[in-house]
Amino acid sequence: MCHAYSPPPRHSTCVSLVVLFLLIPKLHSAPSQIQTLFRMGAGREVSISLDGVRDKNLMQLKKLNIALFPVRYNEKYYADALASGEFTKLAYYSDICVGAIACRLEKKENGGQIRVYIMTLGVLAPYRGLGIGKEESQYLSLVLTGGTKLLNHVLDLCSKQNISEVYLHVQTNNEDAINFYKKFGFEITETIQNYYTNITPPDCYVLTRQTVQSPTKK
């Protein structure tokens, strides 16, 4: 599940998660770090934690992107990720950075409302072998744990902040990614011809999810 950010009309992207093993030491432990324990099998616990992206640990996101994607992201990508605040997160397994979600906050043309664009969402492939996740396809095994946690975090933030729309681009033949997002209520809302360069097919789908807003407190 990967989709790339690039400002020109035609973009480069990755076709799948690559099987790489990259150890990225955690730089610090933030008090606000979100942590969940997953009990697997015979009492086994797998800890997946999320941490925010800041100037001091931005290099971890850069190293992760190098491992996951054959695209080199420009400085605007990282500026947008930092500007999104809590909408961009790193995922850790046993203090190893294994995944990330990077978002951009955009203003809609009608009324200036905010919507969220998911620039990238990826998890290092080798951690599929840890037995994390449900019995699904090999591609989705870890994504259903780390990726699910990352995506749920963004969707929960949208609901709390009354942001009604989240969207992203996915290559038209990336069935694993499309099925993954559909599990979270995303729908194909547009097809863009020749969106990508240097890959086949060059077309992408726009997947959009209308989030449920939290009731206004009186």
Q: Output the domain CATH number for residue 52.
A: 3.40.630.30
- On the question of pLDDT at 191 being above 90, the answer is yes
Give the CA distances from residue 126 to residues 26, 32, 107, 205, in Å, rounded to whole numbers and listed in that order. Answer: 18, 28, 37, 27
pLDDT in tens, 33-66: 444 433 444 344 457 889 999 999 999 999 999 9
Q: Pick the closest to residue 1 from 160, 124, 95, 165 (CA basis).
A: 124
DSSP lists the bridge partners of residue 210 as 165
Q: Is residue 207 part of a domain?
A: no
The pLDDT value recorded for residue 84 is 97
Calculate what percentage of the chain has a pLDDT beyond 70.
66
What would the mean pLDDT of 3-9 be, rounded to a whole number?
39
The two counts, helices (H) then strands (E), for the chain are 5, 8
**Predicted confidence band of residue 212 (pLDDT cuts 50, 70, 90):** low
In the set 77, 117, 127, 196, the catalytic residue is 117
Any idea what the Cα angle at residue 98 is, between residues 114 and 101, rounded to 5°? 5
Residue 68 and residue 122 in contact, taking contact as beta carbons nearer than 8 Å: yes
The pLDDT value recorded for residue 144 is 53
Q: Which domain holds residue 64?
A: 34-161
Q: Is residue 169 part of a domain?
A: no
Q: Is residue 177 part of a domain?
A: no
The pLDDT value recorded for residue 96 is 87
C-alpha–C-alpha distance, residues 68 and 171, integer Å: 16
Q: Is residue 50 part of a domain?
A: yes
Q: Is residue 183 part of a domain?
A: no
Active site residue 195: no
Active site residue 169: yes
Helix/strand/coil percentages in the chain, nearest 5: 30, 30, 40
Q: Is residue 206 part of a domain?
A: no
In the set 169, 181, 196, 205, the catalytic residue is 169
Any idea what the Cα angle at residue 79 is, between residues 75 and 80, rounded to 5°? 120
Count of the separate structural domains present in the chain:
1
Q: Is residue 187 part of a domain?
A: no
Mean pLDDT of the chain: 75
DSSP lists the bridge partners of residue 105 as 116
Q: Is residue 10 part of a domain?
A: no
Any idea what the Cα angle at residue 64 is, between residues 126 and 180, rounded to 5°? 60
